[in-house]
């Protein structure tokens, strides 16, 4: 039985697929999109999380303590008067996670919902995710995966074999631009999406984040529109609050962009698209 690392479990989720769902946020992502709004999902390891908004800079957590569980984090996890200090990321076996997810079986069945794997990038822990997906499939629970599609093609096909809905990103068509803004090339993403759209027979949604001046250019949207053909596309406007959690995990948010004002013109680049 495999062990995986997750950083959040969101019950009664309404925006991560059909019906009422539980969303599992898997820790770790090989990409570094400048606009990522889940910086606590980037590192594959559990890490220190200090809620900056509630910190009054009293310094109590910086005083060395003797608790075993604090030693590797360089802060005391237990002394903060405002409960600001915690570890983001917990390990679970596939059976433990499946047992937790199956507790809401009635809710899934009543609402036409199920379980969604998100992140981070769920396919970075593909063997663990596949093991949980197999348990859910055996129990008749519908599943969905939100993915960057940055994974070896055989891993992509095998892991998603029993998934009911795949929500796959297409961020930038040009490979150099993809490297510049996400840190990785997009050749394997295109290979995976070609299979998803053209061969898999699976239910899927292509999702395009609208990042002002980066992904929302006419050139990029036209190229993605041509690539995906008549696929169902969701356009996801940039949220100017994306940088809110970076300081809590000791990272800097470097993108400076305005809140996205959805512009209907972008729909013209696609056969079937909606702005979310
Ligand atoms: S103990 Fe809490 S409030 Fe004080 S410095 Fe640490 S995180 Fe901030
Ligand atoms: S793929 Fe998603 S989780 Fe990974 S860096 Fe990009 S936005 Fe963040």
Domains and CATH numbers, the chain: 3-45+91-275 (3.20.20.70), 47-88 (no CATH)
The whole-chain average pLDDT of the chain stands at 96
- Ligand 1 center from residue 255 Cα (angstroms): 27
pLDDT given for residue 259 in this prediction: 75
57 lines ligand 1 (CB under 6 A): yes
Contact 141, 109 (CB under 8 A): no
Is the model's pLDDT at 263 over the cut of 80?
Answer: no
pLDDT of residue 273: 95
What DSSP line would sit under 39-108, residue for residue?
Answer: GGGTSSS-EEEE-GGG-----GGGS----GGGGGGTS-SS--TT--EEEE-EEEEHHHHHHHHHTTHHHH
Please give the number of the atom of ligand 1 that sits closest to the Cα of 58.
Answer: 4
Top mutation candidate among 7, 30, 39, 121 for ligand 2, by most atoms within 8 Å of CB: 121
The residues that bridge with 217 in the sheet, in sequence order, are: none
Mind listing the pLDDT tens digit for each residue in 28-47? 999 999 999 999 999 999 99
pLDDT band at 256 (very low <50, low <70, confident <90, very high): confident
> Which DSSP state fits 148?
-
**What token pair was written down for 207?**
């999702």
Chain mean position to CA 26 = 7
Please determine, for residue 257, whether its predicted confidence score (pLDDT) is greater than 80: no
Q: Tell me if residue 16 falls in helix, strand or coil.
A: coil
pLDDT at 159 over 80: yes
Q: Give tens-digit pLDDT for 162-182.
A: 899 999 999 999 999 999 999
Helix, strand and coil content of the chain, in percent to the nearest 5, comes to 35, 25, 40
* Percent over 90 (pLDDT), the chain: 93
Q: Which of 137, 141, 140, 139 is nearest to 159 (CA)?
A: 137
CA–CA gap between residue 157 and residue 198 (Å, rounded): 13
For residue 162, the model assigns a pLDDT of 86
**Which ligand minimizes its atom distance to the CA of 59?**
1
The pLDDT tens digits of the residues spanning 124-147 come to 999 999 999 999 999 999 999 999
Residue 114 beta carbon below 6 angstroms from any ligand 2 atom: no
Count the neighbouring beta carbons within 10 Å of the beta carbon of residue 194: 14
Main-chain phi, psi angles of 205, to 5 degrees? -135, 135
What does the pLDDT look like over 74-124, one tens digit per residue? 999 999 999 999 999 999 999 999 999 999 999 999 999 999 999 999 999
Distance (Å) from CA 31 to ligand 2 centroid: 6
Q: What's the 80 CA to ligand 1 centre distance in angstroms? A: 5
Overall residue count recorded for the chain in this entry: 276
Residue 229 pLDDT level (bands cut at 50, 70, 90)? very high
What percent of the chain has a predicted confidence (pLDDT) above 70?
A: 100
- Low-confidence winner among 47-56, 195-204, 253-262 (lowest mean pLDDT): 253-262
Cα dihedral 207, 209, 210, 213 in deg (nearest 10) = -130
- Asked if pLDDT for residue 261 goes beyond 80, the answer is no
Q: Match 């490297």 to its residue by tokens.
A: 179
Residue 11 tokens read as 């019950």
The reported pLDDT for the residue numbered 264 is 82
């Amino acid at each position: 039985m495999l062990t995986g690392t997750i950083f959040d479990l969101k019950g009664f989720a309404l925006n991560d697929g059909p019906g009422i769902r539980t969303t599992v946020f898997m820790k770790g992502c090989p990409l570094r999109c400048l606009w990522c709004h889940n910086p606590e999902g980037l590192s594959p390891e559990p890490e220190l999380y200090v809620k900056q908004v509630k910190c009054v800079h009293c310094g109590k957590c910086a005083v060395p303590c003797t608790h075993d569980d604090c030693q590797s984090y360089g802060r005391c996890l237990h002394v903060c008067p405002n409960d600001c200090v915690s570890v983001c990321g917990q390990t679970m076996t596939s059976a433990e996670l499946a047992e937790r997810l199956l507790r809401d079986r009635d809710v899934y069945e009543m609402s036409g919902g199920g379980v969604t794997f998100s992140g981070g990038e769920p396919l970075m822990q593909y063997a663990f995710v596949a093991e949980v997906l197999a348990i859910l499939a055996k129990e008749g629970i519908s599943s969905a995966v939100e993915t960057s599609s940055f994974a070896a093609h055989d891993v992509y096909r095998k892991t998603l074999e029993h998934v009911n809905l795949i929500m796959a990103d297409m961020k930038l068509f040009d490979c150099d631009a993809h490297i510049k803004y996400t840190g990785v090339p997009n050749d394997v993403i295109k290979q995976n999406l070609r299979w998803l759209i053209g061969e898999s027979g699976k239910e899927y949604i292509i999702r395009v984040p609208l990042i002002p001046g980066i992904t929302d250019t006419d050139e990029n949207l036209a190229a993605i529109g041509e690539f995906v053909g008549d696929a169902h596309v969701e356009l996801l406007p940039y949220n100017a609050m994306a940088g809110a959690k970076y300081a809590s995990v000791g990272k800097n948010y470097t993108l400076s962009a305005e809140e996205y004002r959805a512009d209907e013109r972008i729909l013209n680049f696609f056969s079937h698209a909606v702005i979310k």
